[in-house]
Amino acid sequence: MNAVLANARWELLRLLRSRRIFLLVIPVIAGPIGSALAFFYFGKMEPNGAVLTHGTALMLGLFVTGGLAGMVMLDLSALSAGEDLARRSHVIAFALPQSRSSVLLGRLLVVFGATLGVFSVGALGVWPIAGAIVPALPSDPHPLYDATHLFLAMLSLLFFLGAVTLNASIITKSSSEALVAGVLAGVVTAAAAFYFTYLHQISLLFPEVLLVVGAVALGWSFLRFERLES
Amino acid sequence: MIFLSSHPPHVPSGEAFSLEKVSKDYGSLHALSEVTFSVRQGEAVGYLGPNGAGKTTTLKLLSGLTRPTSGTLRLDGVEPTKDRRRALSSVGVLVETPGVLPYVRGRDLLEHIAEVKGVPLNERGAAVLHATKTLDVAEPSERLLGSLSTGLLRRVLLAGALIGDPKVLVLDEPTMGLDPAARNDLRNILRGLKKEGRTIFLSTHLLEDVEEVCERVLFLRAGRLMGEAPVSPDGQAPSSVGPRTLLVRTSDTTARERVGRAAGPEVGIEESEPGTEFLLTFRGDERRQSELLRALIAGGVPVSRAQPVGSDLSSLYMQKVGREEAT
């Protein structure tokens, strides 16, 4: 447990020293602000603002905030192990009296915890802003996605993207290649989500599958990391 | 100025680490083949061999960076594959030149190492300061790692290996990239650490490192241990008091049996080139050497070349490992 905490502190210090910690501000600030701008823009497209309902505004806000958090997740998870492996600085950590799982777990606690945390904070900011700019009306049609479900699905998606990117970084020993893999995973997931939505077959099963695949990728990452030959 | 540690000396006893028939394969490449040796606590041992001999692989095994394909490796009696944390708790490691995160200060890294090694929070600062002062890098360790020269970086990393008061230091080319003065300083530091009773296992290409720091040297070639030799306490050369070695070359590839018969049972025979080149080890002076040569010729061995092999480290290296790699 001490080794996990030591590595969590080390990851936090890396984020601070590399200034990557400022990335975490983006979903919190830019998510709600970007959403507000979108609400104003789409709200003015029709004289009565009918293009954007309250439910659709929430969806839009969650997509904006989730997209920004996704980019942060890709970056931080690719670098959490990939940077060390690419630079060969993992040799220092691996020769210390600690399990490699502790190294990875400590780092991921910070990366996943921080990214999912800032997405949640940013997403929670979307609700009051949407309420203020695009109030809910009794005549509003039912939105495509339930906002609460979408929020949970976004958390699953972020977890999935982080796990896949981490896995790719351990396989390729390169953060840049892992980033590409993460972006591709995101594109494929978005395409699949669009396809099932088009068929009206999207359900909570989709984020659940993402969660399971993410968990498998994460477990595999731990196994590979533990057995990496230096 | 170099500040040597004020730690009380350990009382050397027992085995610091051992390898028993340890092999390591990377796919079809046999990096190590059934290597067996042990190092006593408090001993300073050099590990010499050409590039690709398996030195770094051995050090990676000792530092838990990789696992043996077969065989048993014990650190302080504990197998790292079974209890990694306990096995590595007594070892300070500097393997290769690890990459570093350029945006991190040296002190940050050393404090992290101290934390992982279990140094209590209230002693962490002192432990880092002690290690950095020992390596004379107290000031540079406050700078970003990316701004340090190769030599300073190696010393900061070596300071990391010293944190936690390890009983065993496993060092891979510690003086590589250092200027002559810094190299000399580092050798002094290593000698000081040896006097404190720490076990030092030093892999290097530089014979001077071994001569000045170590008391025993192991030779490795193509993943196989080729032998060992003592290094005299004055740190200049292996003991010259002992057996002489004569290199004998013959054009007859079937002469092995005749060489053995002519030399007699008290002469050790090792084939340095199969069938054509022999190293004859015997006790005695130059007269005994001449007698041996005469006996060989009388015994029907067509000697095309006979040359005494020196007993200094460089000659031993060439004899055991190969001439092209000696530096």
DSSP A88: T
Contact A214, A159 (CB under 8 A): yes
Please give the pLDDT value at position B114. 95
Residue B306 shares a structural domain with residue B188: no
Q: Do A230 and B108 touch (CB under 8 A)?
A: no
Whether the per-residue pLDDT at A104 is higher than 80: the answer is yes
Residue B135 shares a structural domain with residue B276: no
Residue B263 shares a structural domain with residue B138: no
The CA distance from B316 to the nearest CA of chain A, in Å, is 32
Residue B43 shares a structural domain with residue B154: yes
The number of CA neighbours under 13 Å toward the Cβ of B44 is 23
Tokens representing residue B167 in the block: 């009983």
Whether the per-residue pLDDT at B11 is higher than 60: the answer is no
Q: Is residue B48 part of a domain?
A: yes
Q: What percent of chain B has pLDDT over 90?
A: 37
Residue B196 shares a structural domain with residue B247: no
Residue B129 shares a structural domain with residue B252: no
Give this complex's ipTM.
Answer: 0.88
Q: What percent of chain B has pLDDT over 70?
A: 89
- CA-nearest residue to B60 within chain A is A230
Q: Do B65 and A95 touch (CB under 8 A)?
A: yes
Residue B222 shares a structural domain with residue B259: no
Q: Is residue B1 part of a domain?
A: no
Q: Cα(B204)–Cα(A177) distance, rounded to whole angstroms?
A: 35
Q: How many domains does chain B have?
A: 2
Please give the pLDDT value at position B23. 94
Contact B52, B128 (CB under 8 A): no
- Write out pLDDT tens, residues B208-251: 888 888 989 999 998 999 888 888 654 444 444 456 778 888 88
Please give the pLDDT value at position A12. 97
Residue B97 shares a structural domain with residue B55: yes
Domain limits at B271?
Answer: 243-310
Q: How many domains does chain A have?
A: 1
Q: Cα(B73)–Cα(B64) distance, rounded to whole angstroms?
A: 10
Please give the pLDDT value at position B310. 60
Q: Cα(B228)–Cα(B224) distance, rounded to whole angstroms?
A: 12
Q: How far is CA B221 from the centre of its chain?
A: 13
pLDDT band of A52, cuts 50, 70, 90? confident
Q: Cα(A192)–Cα(A189) distance, rounded to whole angstroms?
A: 5
Instruction: Give me the residue label for tokens 């065993």.
Output: B168
Contact A225, A170 (CB under 8 A): yes
Residue B117 shares a structural domain with residue B220: yes
Residue B114 shares a structural domain with residue B263: no
Residue B156 shares a structural domain with residue B199: yes
A-proximal residues of B, 136-175, CB under 8 Å: 157, 160
Please give the pLDDT value at position B35. 93
- Write out pLDDT tens, residues A156-204: 999 999 999 999 999 999 999 999 999 999 999 999 999 999 998 888 8
CATH of the domain at B274: 3.30.70.100
Q: Do A98 and B100 touch (CB under 8 A)?
A: no
The CA distance from A193 to the nearest CA of chain B, in Å, is 38
Residue B319's SS3 state is helix
- CA-nearest residue to B85 within chain A is A97
B224: left (phi over 0), alpha (psi -120 to 50) or beta: beta
Residue B46 shares a structural domain with residue B173: yes
The CA distance from B299 to the nearest CA of chain A, in Å, is 54
- Neighboring chain B residues of A14 at a CB cutoff of 8 Å: 101, 103-104
H/E stretch holding B24: strand B15-26
Domain limits at A49?
Answer: 2-226
